[in-house]
């Protein structure tokens, strides 16, 4: 039977490793949150940097329309190269945060919310803004209220661009009347279905349309980033869920008022509790666990630490069988942690090595860095990542990582280090019967035992 400390490290943290103290249980996992909240030593490229490059890129693209000077092409290439290199740096530092965390619960929560508010930005003048969105819109609010997190996520330029909100215009606004432009309901629909109430949250198509009217005015441009644009905002009173919002003139405060109310609804509490329990514990979580989390969260007026603590304190969160599958990124971090990959070596990896070791394998395993498959994010069920191609890529990566170890550890000792009492007897036998140490370590890292959490 898997012990509580092993469960704590694997289910709620980054995994096991040499010289890394095991969290004794729920209290230790909870106490790790504050110390892991701000990993300054692994910086992420700022949104302001991406925005400045976007302005430069747009100016160069416009200049090329009039003058196809080779120097302009070289400047564009240099700008794109800078964004590409920063993207690799963000990948390395995000991996390092999860790998070298004290416990890893904070980074695991960060990954949960990044998938909950799934969005990306690619192409056009702005490139690769997802990491900046996660760092600046989500991370500062991880230990605060859901209202603050929701506002920050929904109003960030990356979210607004991804869900085409910048193209949504109030039909009766000044711009709407003059140009005949209308609503885009993407953000309104995903805000209700994915981010708050859930698909069973009791809203209607009329609610989506009314919300889309309320959200008009949210705009993005390269000069300011996010800003509120009254000229495209739908004027007047808008009724949603029996409550009245808006006015003349429309302001950003009318929108944030609705977001705050939405964050506190009981349907939102149940949806978030279920998703969090599904992410950490099992695909079909215990109804009593979900109910306990939802009640605690709602009574706290949407306090996120209360939601996390409610999950950790419930016995159903500690069922001894590991039933979830590690996502590719989490599997990589756990493998680096288990093999004792040195932080200094991680920081010295060159761009070509980062592409070979992380970027390409993540793509092959089905979790490309800085990308999302849809506004719904990546699936929680094992079948989402456990595909023939995904499994083959995991095995290839695990074997390649083991070959890089010099010297490779004794597999019989390594299986105890990497999994402790979560390792099956079958895996122990397979590890001890490997022809070489490197093959034995690769077998352990590629095994179902190691890929569960």
**Average pLDDT value for residue range 318-333:** 97
Query: 368 with 438, same domain?
Result: yes
Percent of the chain at pLDDT above 90?
Answer: 89
| Residue 82 located in a structural domain | no
Neighbours of 425 (CB within 10 A): 7
- Domain coverage including residue 184: 161-263
Q: Report d(CA 298, CA 264) in Å as an integer.
A: 7
Q: Report d(CA 258, CA 154) in Å as an integer.
A: 12
Q: Report d(CA 86, CA 45) in Å as an integer.
A: 6
Q: Which of 59, 51, 47 is nearest to 221 (CA)?
A: 51
| Residue 358 located in a structural domain | yes
Query: 438 with 332, same domain?
Result: yes
| Residue 110 located in a structural domain | no
Q: What is the pLDDT of residue 214?
A: 98
Asked if omega into 275 is within 30° of 0 (cis), the reply is: no
Query: 242 with 351, same domain?
Result: no
At residue 153 the predicted structure's pLDDT band, cuts being 50, 70 and 90, is very high
Cβ-Cβ contacts under 8 Å for 403 (sequence gap 6 or more): 438, 442
Tell the residue number behind the tokens 């094992």, with chain if given. Answer: 382
| Residue 374 located in a structural domain | yes
pTM: 0.96
Round the average pLDDT of the chain to a whole number and report it. Answer: 95
At residue 145 the predicted structure's pLDDT band, cuts being 50, 70 and 90, is very high
Give the chain's domain count.
Answer: 2
Last residue of some domain: 244, 263, 282? 263
At residue 323 the predicted structure's pLDDT band, cuts being 50, 70 and 90, is very high
Q: In this predicted structure, which of 61-65, 151-155, 440-444 has the lowest mean pLDDT?
A: 61-65
Query: 253 with 331, same domain?
Result: no
Q: What is the pLDDT of residue 341?
A: 97
Query: 330 with 241, same domain?
Result: no
Residue range 210-244, pLDDT digits in tens: 999 999 999 999 988 999 999 999 999 999 999 99
Tell the residue number behind the tokens 């940097």, with chain if given. Answer: 49
Residue range 345-402, pLDDT digits in tens: 999 999 999 999 999 999 999 999 999 999 999 999 999 999 999 999 999 999 999 9
Q: Which of 106, 108, 133, 135 is nearest to 119 (CA)?
A: 133
Last residue of some domain: 214, 244, 263? 263
Q: What is the pLDDT of residue 37?
A: 78
| Residue 40 located in a structural domain | no
| Residue 120 located in a structural domain | no
| Residue 44 located in a structural domain | no
Last residue of some domain: 214, 245, 263? 263
Q: Report d(CA 228, CA 246) in Å as an integer.
A: 14
Asked if pLDDT for residue 39 goes beyond 70, the answer is no
Asked if pLDDT for residue 41 goes beyond 90, the answer is no
Q: What is the pLDDT of residue 65?
A: 83
Query: 327 with 403, same domain?
Result: yes
| Residue 89 located in a structural domain | no
Q: Report d(CA 178, CA 264) in Å as an integer.
A: 38
Tokens of 205: 């198509």
Q: What is the pLDDT of residue 117?
A: 98
Q: What is the pLDDT of residue 413?
A: 96
Q: Report d(CA 9, CA 102) in Å as an integer.
A: 10
**Average pLDDT value for residue range 318-342:** 97
Residue range 67-122, pLDDT digits in tens: 778 898 899 999 999 999 999 999 999 999 999 999 999 999 999 999 999 999 86
Query: 328 with 423, same domain?
Result: yes
């Amino acid at each position: 039977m898997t012990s509580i400390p092993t469960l704590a490290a694997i289910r709620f943290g980054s995994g096991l490793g040499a010289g890394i103290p095991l969290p004794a249980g729920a209290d230790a996992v909870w106490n790790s949150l504050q110390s892991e909240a701000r990993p300054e030593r692994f910086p992420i490229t700022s949104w302001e940097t991406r925005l400045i490059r976007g302005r430069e890129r747009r100016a160069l693209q416009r200049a090329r329309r009039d003058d196809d000077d080779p120097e302009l092409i070289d400047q564009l290439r240099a700008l794109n190269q800078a964004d590409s290199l920063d993207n690799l740096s963000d990948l390395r530092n995000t991996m390092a945060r999860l790998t070298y965390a004290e416990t890893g619960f904070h980074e695991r929560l960060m990954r949960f919310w990044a998938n909950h508010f799934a969005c990306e930005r690619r192409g056009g003048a702005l490139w690769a803004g997802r990491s900046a969105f996660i760092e600046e819109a989500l991370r500062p609010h991880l230990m605060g209220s859901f209202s603050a997190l929701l506002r920050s996520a929904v109003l960030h330029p990356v979210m607004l661009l991804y869900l085409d909100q910048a193209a949504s215009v109030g039909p009766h606004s000044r711009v709407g009347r003059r140009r005949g432009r209308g609503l885009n309901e993407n953000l309104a629909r995903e805000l209700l279905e994915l981010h708050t109430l859930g698909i069973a949250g009791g809203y209607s198509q009329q609610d989506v349309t009314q919300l889309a009217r309320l959200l008009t005015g949210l705009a993005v441009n390269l000069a300011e980033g996010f800003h509120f644009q009254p000229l495209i905002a739908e004027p007047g009173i808008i009724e949603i869920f029996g409550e009245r919002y808006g006015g003349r003139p429309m302001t950003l405060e009318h929108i944030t008022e609705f977001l705050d109310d939405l964050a506190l609804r009981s349907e939102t509490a149940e949806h978030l509790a279920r998703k969090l329990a599904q992410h950490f514990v099992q695909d079909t979580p215990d109804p009593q666990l979900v109910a306990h989390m939802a009640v605690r969260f709602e009574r706290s007026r949407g306090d996120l630490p209360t939601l996390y603590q409610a999950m950790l304190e419930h016995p159903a969160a500690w069922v001894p069988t590991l039933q979830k599958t590690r996502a590719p990124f989490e599997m990589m971090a756990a493998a680096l942690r288990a093999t004792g990959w040195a932080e200094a070596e991680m920081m010295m990896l060159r761009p070509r090595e980062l592409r070979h070791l992380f970027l390409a394998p993540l793509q092959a395993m089905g979790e490309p860095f800085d990308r999302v498959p849809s506004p719904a994010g990546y699936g929680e069920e094992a079948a989402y990542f456990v595909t023939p191609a995904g499994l083959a890529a995991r095995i290839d990566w695990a074997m390649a990582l083991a070959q890089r170890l010099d010297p490779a550890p004794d597999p019989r000792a390594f299986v105890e280090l990497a999994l402790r009492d979560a390792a099956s007897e079958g895996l122990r036998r397979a590890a001890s019967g490997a022809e070489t140490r490197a093959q034995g370590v690769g077998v352990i890292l590629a095994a179902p035992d190691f890929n569960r959490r």
